Structure 1
Amino acid sequence: MCGENMTHANARREISGAEQTKLATQLGATEVPDRPVTWSGLAGRIEPDQSPTLEAAGATIRTELAERLDGEVLERERDRLAARIERLPEVRETGVPNEPHGCYEAVADPGWRLYEHLAEGEFFERLDETLPRFTPTHIERTARELVLTTPLSAALDDVGFDESEKTALLIAVANDADRLARWVPSNQIPDGVEFDTETVPPLHRRAMGGALLWIRGLDRHLWQNEVLVTEEVLDAAVAHTKTMLGGLFLSATAACDIATTGRLTDEQVTAAFAAGTAVQIVGQEELLHEVFYVTDETRAPSKLR
């Protein structure tokens, strides 16, 4: 259960003009459109990459992993995840949770079931072995393919992502190459690091599991720190939760496709998995800094002063 002591202000992340221009430039738009730059607007201004790397990776994933997946389980939990994403405005309306296990934990439940199903078939390990590492070139190709994949755009529409929110997902993929490059597949961690690399989970598992753990921790964090929490912190909590679940939804959509319909091309499958992971990475890092790190500048004023 969540309390009702605060009302919704604006949980949508504002996108700066500089971010919009950078996105259009990164994706090689034939011309930088007048603001606002949107997913739909970019789709008509960029050319497909026709990357053999994306195609080969997608074909390998489809061939080697389709039989490890249960399409019925994936579709059921993906639909449940979609329903939880659509309920996020209600979560924001209720404000600070009134107990340490509540609305955010419930929102993440279908995501955990998707995560567990993928983990059972060593799906994450194979993604690490198959998908390219995050580099500026791979990130650009991924974002470009994502923009041009109408079924993925429509799927996000169906679960309540408007143009601004979808564009924010693109920015999380295309504009954060340096941040994403720090996330290294477990089988590519160099020798000589100060920890046991044998215990490091695959990159895509770290991203999805990490996102779900951060969401699970929101109820307790907000409940324990209620006196410090502002409307802006609550807005950020919901916005970044939606971002992470949106990334998970992209990954789940790709997994469903290779287990059932096969409507996505091999390039689109690769783009969906890579973009889904990228969005979950950026979302959890932003959540950490904007919600879990409460500073004197961002905290609510003390009532004792």
Structure 2
Amino acid sequence: MVEGYGERTTVSDEDRREFLKVLGVSGSIAAGGLGLEELGSTASLGAAEELAPVGQAIRSDLSGAIDADLVAEQQAALTTSSEEMVATVERGLPSEAPREAFAAVADAGWPVYEHLRDVGFYASADEQLPAFDADTLGAAMETFVASDQLVSMVEEFGLGNYQGVDLLATVIGNAEQLQNYHWVATEEVPGGVSAPSDAFPTAPQAAAGGALLWLEDIDEYLYQNELILTEEIHADAAWHGETMAAGLHLMSEAARVIGEGAGALSDAELASLLTVSFAVQATAQGLITQDVYWVTEEMRAPRAAGDN
């Protein structure tokens, strides 16, 4: 069993330094191992001006369209199922039969995904959000960490202290891959490629729907490959599943705020929240393949005596 799942870090020192650099945090402050809440006091809302028009446009597109009660109800189920999913690490890999812990997270997420698809949420995000390059992600992260309300959304989901930092630093550490391979705006798709649909979704819809499809698959994968997997790989699966769930949670928070129409977040905070939520989901999909599904000879569990 992997000891101290909640204390393990999943981010390299280099990625963490790059994240702190984006926030403008000095090395002396960073050396203190601060969590998101503490880092917020060092960040600024300087990027808010460029994000505000994006949030305003999305809010306008979706005014009166989102069922905030439905979203809130499923958020509660998502949080509970995510906690239960992470708890499977303490029980070890499944050996008797596949579990349904990861799939339960997907079950909680599908109703929100489908509702948001039907009201044009993903289409609006695809149209209004800027391309996910280093500057866009940096501006979104700066605004996110400087907002007490946004940071509290991560902490309330159970990713407090440095786990919240890991969640966001992973996105910055994989910004180039995200930009080049996981996030292509519809307007940049080459001519002749099928228009967006359920078969060829927009980037925001692919981020959310793809995360749910991965979550549906992981239980069976862990069971079928138990002999070659290690508890470390199991813990990686739980972490990437948890980050996908966190991304879904943050996306749902943005949708709920729009649905309630009460202005709980500024337009800049809304744009930041949406950007981070989609980026977290898309990044996790790229990482789970290399950390969990592409098991090399060096990664796999030791062979039993007599195995070739």
Q: Same fold (TM over 0.5)?
A: yes
Which residue of structure 1 aligns with residue 13 of structure 2? 17
Identity in percent:
29
Alignment CA distance shift 1:135-1:167 (3 Å): same
Q: Which residue number corresponds to residue 46 of structure 2?
A: 49
Match in the other structure for 2:55:
58
- Give the corresponding residue for 2:84: 87
Q: In the alignment, which residue of structure 1 is the partner of 2:245?
A: 245
Asked if 1 retains the 8 angstrom alpha-carbon contact of 2:45 and 2:143, the reply is yes
Structure 1 stretch 283-292 or stretch 99-108: which is displaced more?
99-108
CA distance in 2, matches of 1:152, 1:52: 17
1:67 aligns with 2:68: no
Q: Shift of residue 50 of structure 1?
A: 4.2
Q: Residue 62 of structure 2 aligns to a residue in which SS? A: helix
Distance in 2 between residues matched to 1:264 and 1:39, nearest whole Å: 18
Q: Distance in 1 between matches of 2:32 and 2:18?
A: 12
1:47 aligned counterpart, secondary structure: coil
Cα RMSD of the aligned pairs, angstroms, is: 1.9
Report the secondary structure of 1:302's partner residue.
coil
Which one of the candidate residues 100, 103, 106 is aligned to 1:102? 100
Q: TM-score, normalised by structure 2?
A: 0.90
Residue type of the partner of 1:18?
Answer: E
Specify whether residues 176 and 151 from structure 1 end up closer, same or farther in structure 2 by C-alpha distance, changes over 3 A only: same
- Give the deviation of 1:294 after TM superposition: 1.1
Q: Residue in 2 aligned with 1:3?
A: none
Q: Do the aligned partners of 1:20 and 1:35 also contact (CA within 8 Å) in 2?
A: no
**What's the counterpart of residue 124 of structure 2?**
126
TM-score by length of 1: 0.91
Amino acid across the alignment from 1:61 = I
- For 1:291, the equivalent position in structure 2 comes to 292
2:63 is paired with a residue whose SS is: helix
Gaps of 5+ in 1: 1-6
Amino acid at match of 2:218: L
Mean Cα deviation higher: 106-115 or 134-143: 106-115
Aligned to 1:301: 302
Q: CA deviation at 1:32?
A: 4.9
Looking at structure 2, the residues matched to 295 and 119 of structure 1 have their Cα atoms a distance apart, in angstroms, of 37
Write the deviation string for residues 53-88 of structure 1: whole angstroms up to 9, x where unpaired.
310111111122031110110111112112222323
Matched, 1:265 2:263: no
User: Secondary structure of the equivalent of 1:217?
Assistant: helix
Aligned residue in 2 for 1:188: 188
Aligned counterparts of 1:101 and 1:66: Cα–Cα separation in 2: 40
Instruction: Answer whether contact 2:36 2:160 (CA < 8 A) is retained.
Output: no
5+ residue gaps in structure 2?
A: none
Q: Note the C-alpha offset of 1:122.
A: 1.9
Alpha-carbon distance in 1 for matches of 2:251, 2:140: 13
Quote the Cα distance in structure 1 between the aligned partners of 2:118 and 2:28: 44
Map residues 135-214 of structure 1 onto 2, 5 A cutoff.
Answer: 135-182=133-180, 183-191=183-191, 195-199=193-197, 200-214=200-214
**Letter of the aligned partner of 2:274 in structure 1?**
F
Matching of residue 224 in structure 1 with residue 219 in structure 2: no
**Alpha-carbon distance in 2 for matches of 1:32, 1:46:** 15
Residues 103, 217 of structure 2: 8 Å contact kept: yes
Secondary structure, counterpart of 2:3 in structure 1? coil
Aligned residue pairs, count? 297
